[in-house]
């Protein structure tokens, strides 16, 4: 995330970057269109012109968050061949996103500020969920298996992002990843698809 004020290029992208940084630094309580404009180095009217109001800006940021979330899962899956390994890799991608983008993670999964009825945000969120479903179905899993993988991946990611997984303190990254892979494998369907 660049801290340089906006000078040229895509103003919408610059405002979204400034919004993410502002949210990370000030939280929801200190977040405003004016503070985002100041951080981006543009007039205070620029965010309103592009997004309407605070909810519009947070909705656009959450939409971008879901796109990045899906990309993080897919990036980890890229080297996995077997369906079970792809599902586990996606769970590690879930964790990567939470640790790399904790502000977006909290915005898309914990905040009520974005308009989740917005068509773009709904589509982005549904694409991420549909991807999860597509990882579990080849394993012969049903709704309970989808919920189990989602709950485990989300729980581990949320605890890690909040620095609450103390049992992993002192572990090197490879050991942490192996431990998390083991947790994710436990919730995947054991039966083989027909």
How much of the chain, in percent, has pLDDT values that exceed 90?
Answer: 81
| pLDDT, tens digit (0-9, with 9 covering 90-100), for 6-53 | 555 689 999 999 999 999 999 988 899 999 999 999 998 999 999 999
Q: Tell me how far the alpha carbon of residue 87 is from its chain's centroid.
A: 16
Whole-angstrom Cα distance, residue 39 to residue 34?
Answer: 9
- Predicted local distance difference test score (pLDDT) of residue 9: 66
The mean pLDDT of 121-132, rounded to a whole number, is 98
pLDDT band, residue 5 (cuts 50/70/90): low
- Predicted local distance difference test score (pLDDT) of residue 83: 95
Whole-angstrom Cα distance, residue 7 to residue 51?
Answer: 19
| pLDDT, tens digit (0-9, with 9 covering 90-100), for 144-182 | 999 999 999 999 999 988 888 888 888 898 999 999 999
Averaged confidence pLDDT in the chain: 92
- Predicted local distance difference test score (pLDDT) of residue 169: 80
The mean pLDDT of 52-72, rounded to a whole number, is 97
Whole-angstrom Cα distance, residue 66 to residue 123?
Answer: 9
pLDDT band, residue 190 (cuts 50/70/90): confident
- Predicted local distance difference test score (pLDDT) of residue 3: 43
Whole-angstrom Cα distance, residue 166 to residue 172?
Answer: 13
Q: Tell me how far the alpha carbon of residue 85 is from its chain's centroid.
A: 20
Tokens linked to 132:
């999860």
Whole-angstrom Cα distance, residue 135 to residue 109?
Answer: 20
Q: Which of 32, 134, 26 is nearest to 90 (CA)?
A: 134
Domains of the chain: 1-52 (1.10.10.60), 53-187 (1.10.357.10)
**Beta carbons within 10 angstroms of residue 160's beta carbon:** 18
- Predicted local distance difference test score (pLDDT) of residue 2: 43
Find out whether 28 and 111 touch, Cβ atoms under 8 Å. yes
- Predicted local distance difference test score (pLDDT) of residue 7: 52
The mean pLDDT of 75-84, rounded to a whole number, is 95
Phi and psi angles of residue 153, each rounded to the nearest 5 degrees, phi first: -60, -45
Angle between helices 54-77 and 33-40 (to 10 degrees): 60
How much of the chain, in percent, has pLDDT values that exceed 70?
Answer: 93
- Predicted local distance difference test score (pLDDT) of residue 192: 57
């Amino acid at each position: 995330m660049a801290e340089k004020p906006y000078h040229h290029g895509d103003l919408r992208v610059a405002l979204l970057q400034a919004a993410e940084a502002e949210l990370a630094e000030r939280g929801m309580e200190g977040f405003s269109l004016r503070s985002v404009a100041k951080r981006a180095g543009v007039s205070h009217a620029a965010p309103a012109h592009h997004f309407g109001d605070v909810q519009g800006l947070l909705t656009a940021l959450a939409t971008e968050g879901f796109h990045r979330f899906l990309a993080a899962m897919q990036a980890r899956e890229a080297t996995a061949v077997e369906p079970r390994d792809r599902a586990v890799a996606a769970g590690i991608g879930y964790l990567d996103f939470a640790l790399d983008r904790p502000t977006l993670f909290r915005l898309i999964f914990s905040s009520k500020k974005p308009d989740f009825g917005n068509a773009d945000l709904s589509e982005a969120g549904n694409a991420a969920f549909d991807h999860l479903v597509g990882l579990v179905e080849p394993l012969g899993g049903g709704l309970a298996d989808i919920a189990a993988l989602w709950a485990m991946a989300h729980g581990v990611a949320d605890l890690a992002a909040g620095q609450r997984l103390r049992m992993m303190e002192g572990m090197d990254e490879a050991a942490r990843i192996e431990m998390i892979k083991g947790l994710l494998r436990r919730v995947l369907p054991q039966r083989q698809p027909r």
